[in-house]
Amino acid sequence: MPLSWLAEITDLPEGASGADVAASLVSVGLEEEDLHGGDLTGPLVVGRVLELEETVQKNGKPIRYCVVDVGHHGQQITEGKHQEIVCGATNFEVGDLVVVVLPGAVLPGGFAISARKTYGRMSNGMICAEDEIGLGHDHDGIIVLQRLLGEEVAADLQPGDDVIALLGLADETVETNVTPDRGYCLSVRGLAREYWHSQGSPTGGYRDPAEVEVATGSDGGHPVRLDDETPIDGNAGCDRFVARVVRGIDPMRPTPAWLQKRLTQMGMRPISLAVDVTNYVMLAVGQPLHAYDLAKLDGPIVVRRSRPGETLTTLDDVARKLRPDDLLITDSGERPLAIAGVMGGASSEVDAATVDVLVEAAHFDPTTVARSSRRHRLVTEASKRFERGVDPGVTAAAAQLAVDLLVEHGGGTADPGVTDVDHTTERSAYRLDVTEPSRIVGVDYPRDRVVGILRDLGCVVEESGEGSDDRHVLVTPPSWRPDLDNDSPAPDYAEEVARIDGYHRIPSITPTPSEGRGLTHGQKARRLVADTLAAAGFTEVLSYPFVAEESGDQLGLSTDDDRRRAVRVANPLSEERPLLRTTVLSSLVDVLRRNLARGHKDVAVYEVGLVFRPGGPLARAPIPGVASRPDQASLEQLYAAVPDQPRRAAVVASGQIEQAGWWGPGRAADWSDMVAAVETVAAALAVPVLVASDAGHAPWHPGRCARITLTDGTLVGHAGELHPKVLAALELPARTVAAEFDLDVLSAASEEPVQVRPFSSYPPALTDVALLVAGAVAAADVEAALRAGAGEALERIVLFDVYEGERIEADHRSLAYRLTFRAPDRTLTTDEVNGFRDAAVAAAAQATGAVQR
């Protein structure tokens, strides 16, 4: 919004800058996006190209050496000759009027211009493109004024004329970010109103540009029928349609320069008078308009929903298949002319031969427009405004403004017949408790303040009607505020009062919850696990849970493995990774690989995160209504449709886990480090676990994989060395080791408070046994048998040596255990201890065939 336009509608303080206006708008909740213009100093003048010599440079780029008449400026004064300028653009010819910036000028961004040698010759300034002078974002060649402003306007220009004044470049423009609830601010009318509020809404300080004398609806206008048979949520696709006809427009008449300037300041390109006028009125009052070539229409305009199989080629030359929900403007109900509120069709487009124009100003349902815009991936200036809500009270005025401009500048005549099909309904008044804003905001707003602010906003506030009393007033929002017209608008009114009164007046009061139970057991357990792994030497990392289709194969999962049942993302960022991980390891290996690629040789990392285990095809989650709490059955169905997402931890390590140093050589991470990691975590949570070998669990090495369970058999996870084939497929080093375990299981298992076992203060008795077992016997089984046989006096058992070699039978191992016994009530005798030990050995012999050495 240019400040000059703003100043037409509301009073701008003397000397207010773009930054001042932006700050004022921020204070009423309109965020600043950008400031343009105003930061340019001349000389910036009109030039006429007299000569040009084009040469192609070594790099293949054409360069033009130009002589330009810039009037009584520059070299004309110092050297008595025309300006010599080097230019890299090629979109102009001798005789064209161009924009020349002369040495001494400063362009936006602090870019100072001086005479300098370029491509072998002196360039005394520069011929400008639009973006260089802050006029727009275009950099496709330089500005040719005949094209920008039209021949007629250009005819009056003289070389040397000031371009800053000509194009309004001294005029600053403020760009704001308009939130979806403030559709009315997508117009100078709305923004100016907000600026006026920011200045305290002084009486007489706002002049509504839509307040013009409007021709009221009458017979004889172009017939229009609203024929929506399938409204969305009960809202008709179109509830107001104004059609006006202007005949006898001279298609050669240019758009006046001031109007072109405003369009370019607002970032739009001038096209033709009829199109420019509709765009200008839209920018002014926020009502999108459409201009039809009347000669291309055969009958009445019918607004209806699309029928199966219909197509329309829109103005952007795309042939679009229409969908049943699309609202269409049609010729006689047959031929589609436009997708309502989104884009017009090529067949009825205004062109260079158009003399009779039909102007459409309509009010379309936001949902209908939003759906069409989304379906056709077509976001237009019109659709943006209709989606956010256009003022249904401004329809006729907008049409009138357009008609007036076409008559004035196009030489046309307005038809006396005015079509205004108006199905809009009166907005109803809301009985507002005037203490409500104070109750919601926490600032004490007196009744007069509330009423005053609402009236400034354009609301009608009745203080004496039926239902009003000393606490209640009847408020009807203005037509441009559909956001205030909902079934419980009290918070909206509260926001308006707070906004206009100033958010800075809201105090700060720390809320005080009455009681909090702290972290849940599960939350504490998760932290403990993460901390324990870090303390054990592993580094926590995070990985994206997106994995490749081949992940299951790479991990060597069997075809019926549940971990192959992954959720697929319909719109993945990368087609190469469309699946959601079913194990943390499957994405954690990427992090390991990245670290190795960066030259880290010894890497031990872990991640705690969710995995996605649908178990089968996704169930369809219901979409209940939102008017009230869905019934319990719907909620249960909703929750149940969300797939299982257990929280798991994975650890992976490669290279040395203990470094070489003055103490001796390092030690490579091996399968046992992974089992130890899981056992350490379990111990931290005081959860007893059992370890057994698991020869068939991918992606682990069949001979080096431990299955870790709770004592009741519940699976906790797996740990060990990864399968060599998996490592090859994943391009990871040999002997890479890994573990993955379920945090939810460990957390649940540690939930109950630990119950302390009494312990004895009598002296312990220690005894060692060495057992010879066959190679296939698991140490864990031997230990379990020893424990079972040793009886209750056994306090501790430690496997302190494992021997295989020449001194014993082939394919056998010698396991040396130290047993610690202690009785709760006495010192054990040597005979007793020997008895326990023999019983333990006998149990081990029976269970595992162990023989005492």
- Measured from the CB of residue 456, what is the shortest distance to other proteins in angstroms? 15
Of the pair 590, 795, the CB lying nearest other proteins is at 590
- Measured from the CB of residue 847, what is the shortest distance to other proteins in angstroms? 36
- What is the Cα–Cα distance from 713 to 222, expressed in whole angstroms? 82
SS3 readout for 685-709: CCCCEEEEECCCCCCEEEEEEEEEE
- Measured from the CB of residue 185, what is the shortest distance to other proteins in angstroms? 11
Taking CB under 8 A as the binding criterion, the range among 395-403, 408-416, 597-605, 842-850 that sits at the site for other proteins is 597-605
- Measured from the CB of residue 719, what is the shortest distance to other proteins in angstroms? 17
- Measured from the CB of residue 192, what is the shortest distance to other proteins in angstroms? 18
Q: Which residue has the tokens 């330089």?
A: 142
Of the pair 642, 695, the CB lying nearest other proteins is at 642
Residues in 555-574 that interact with other proteins by CB under 8 A:
567-573
Of the pair 77, 623, the CB lying nearest other proteins is at 623
Of the pair 544, 800, the CB lying nearest other proteins is at 544
Beta bridge partners of 852: 771
Of the pair 367, 709, the CB lying nearest other proteins is at 367
Report CA-CA distances (Å) from 659 to 537, 597, 602. Answer: 12, 20, 9
- Measured from the CB of residue 110, what is the shortest distance to other proteins in angstroms? 11
Of the pair 263, 605, the CB lying nearest other proteins is at 605
Q: Provide the pairing of β-strand 603-610 with 539-540.
A: parallel
Of the pair 84, 172, the CB lying nearest other proteins is at 172
Contact 125/85 with Cβ under 8 angstroms? yes
Q: Provide the pairing of β-strand 667-668 with 656-658.
A: antiparallel
Of the pair 65, 606, the CB lying nearest other proteins is at 606
Residues in 507-546 that interact with other proteins by CB under 8 A:
507-520, 523, 527, 530-531, 533-545
List the structure tokens of 801.
């040596």
- Measured from the CB of residue 207, what is the shortest distance to other proteins in angstroms? 25
Number of residues that bind other proteins (CB under 8 A): 108
Cα angle 494-497-500, degrees, rounded to a multiple of 5 = 145
Residues in 599-638 that interact with other proteins by CB under 8 A:
600, 602-605, 608-610, 612, 618-624, 626-629, 635, 638
Radius of gyration over every alpha carbon of the chain, rounded to an integer in angstroms: 41
Of the pair 62, 446, the CB lying nearest other proteins is at 446
List the structure tokens of 753.
């408070």
Residues in 417-446 that interact with other proteins by CB under 8 A:
439-443
- Measured from the CB of residue 369, what is the shortest distance to other proteins in angstroms? 9
Beta bridge partners of 432: 473
Report CA-CA distances (Å) from 824 to 648, 754, 759, 829. Answer: 41, 20, 7, 13
- Give which of 9, 102, 116 is closest to 47, Cα–Cα: 102
Beta bridge partners of 344: 338
- Measured from the CB of residue 302, what is the shortest distance to other proteins in angstroms? 24
Helix axes 830-848, 779-790, angle to 10 degrees: 140
- Measured from the CB of residue 384, what is the shortest distance to other proteins in angstroms? 9
Contact pattern from residue 4 through residue 43 relative to other proteins, giving x for each residue in contact according to CB under 8 A and a dash for the rest = ----------------------xxxx-x------------
Applying CB under 8 A, which of residues 580, 732, 782, 843 lies at the interface with other proteins? 580
* Burial class of residue 417, CB neighbours in 10 A (0-12, 13-18, 19+): middle
- What is the Cα–Cα distance from 293 to 354, expressed in whole angstroms? 6
- What is the Cα–Cα distance from 557 to 551, expressed in whole angstroms? 9
Of the pair 642, 766, the CB lying nearest other proteins is at 642
Contact 533/651 with Cβ under 8 angstroms? yes
Contact pattern from residue 343 through residue 382 relative to other proteins, giving x for each residue in contact according to CB under 8 A and a dash for the rest = -----------------------xx--xx--x--------
Of the pair 216, 488, the CB lying nearest other proteins is at 488
- What is the Cα–Cα distance from 730 to 717, expressed in whole angstroms? 21
Residues in 272-301 that interact with other proteins by CB under 8 A:
none
Of the pair 261, 481, the CB lying nearest other proteins is at 481
- Measured from the CB of residue 557, what is the shortest distance to other proteins in angstroms? 20
- Measured from the CB of residue 219, what is the shortest distance to other proteins in angstroms? 37
CA 663 to chain centre: 54
What are φ and ψ of residue 306, in 5° steps? -65, 150
- Measured from the CB of residue 224, what is the shortest distance to other proteins in angstroms? 26
Q: Which helix (H) or strand (E) segment is 682 a member of?
A: helix 671-684
Residues in 162-201 that interact with other proteins by CB under 8 A:
179-182
- Measured from the CB of residue 306, what is the shortest distance to other proteins in angstroms? 17
Applying CB under 8 A, which of residues 75, 124, 198, 595 lies at the interface with other proteins? 595
Of the pair 330, 543, the CB lying nearest other proteins is at 543
- Measured from the CB of residue 233, what is the shortest distance to other proteins in angstroms? 9
- Give which of 768, 775, 779 is closest to 852, Cα–Cα: 768
- Measured from the CB of residue 590, what is the shortest distance to other proteins in angstroms? 8
Of the pair 385, 701, the CB lying nearest other proteins is at 385
Of the pair 618, 766, the CB lying nearest other proteins is at 618
Of the pair 201, 645, the CB lying nearest other proteins is at 645
Applying CB under 8 A, which of residues 222, 376, 388, 813 lies at the interface with other proteins? 388
Q: Which residue has the tokens 């991918």?
A: 698
Of the pair 442, 703, the CB lying nearest other proteins is at 442
Residues in 55-94 that interact with other proteins by CB under 8 A:
none
DSSP symbol at 296: G
Contact pattern from residue 466 through residue 505 relative to other proteins, giving x for each residue in contact according to CB under 8 A and a dash for the rest = ----------------------x-xxx-xx--xx---xx-
Residues in 656-685 that interact with other proteins by CB under 8 A:
657-659, 661-663
DSSP H helices in 379-509? 381-388, 395-410, 436-441, 447-456, 490-501
Helix axes 18-27, 188-198, angle to 10 degrees: 80
- What is the Cα–Cα distance from 464 to 635, expressed in whole angstroms? 46
Taking CB under 8 A as the binding criterion, the range among 91-99, 143-151, 342-350, 590-598 that sits at the site for other proteins is 590-598
| C-alpha dihedral sign at 607, 718, 563, 687 | negative
Per-position DSSP letters for 438-475, written without gaps between them: HHHHSS---HHHHHHHHHHTT-EEESSSTT--SSEEEE
Of the pair 543, 814, the CB lying nearest other proteins is at 543
Contact 611/648 with Cβ under 8 angstroms? yes
- What is the Cα–Cα distance from 85 to 67, expressed in whole angstroms? 6
Q: Which helix (H) or strand (E) segment is 285 a member of?
A: helix 273-285
* Burial class of residue 76, CB neighbours in 10 A (0-12, 13-18, 19+): middle
Contact pattern from residue 128 through residue 167 relative to other proteins, giving x for each residue in contact according to CB under 8 A and a dash for the rest = ----------------------------------------
Length reported for the chain: 853
DSSP symbol at 433: E
- Measured from the CB of residue 96, what is the shortest distance to other proteins in angstroms? 38
- Measured from the CB of residue 30, what is the shortest distance to other proteins in angstroms? 8
Contact 259/276 with Cβ under 8 angstroms? yes
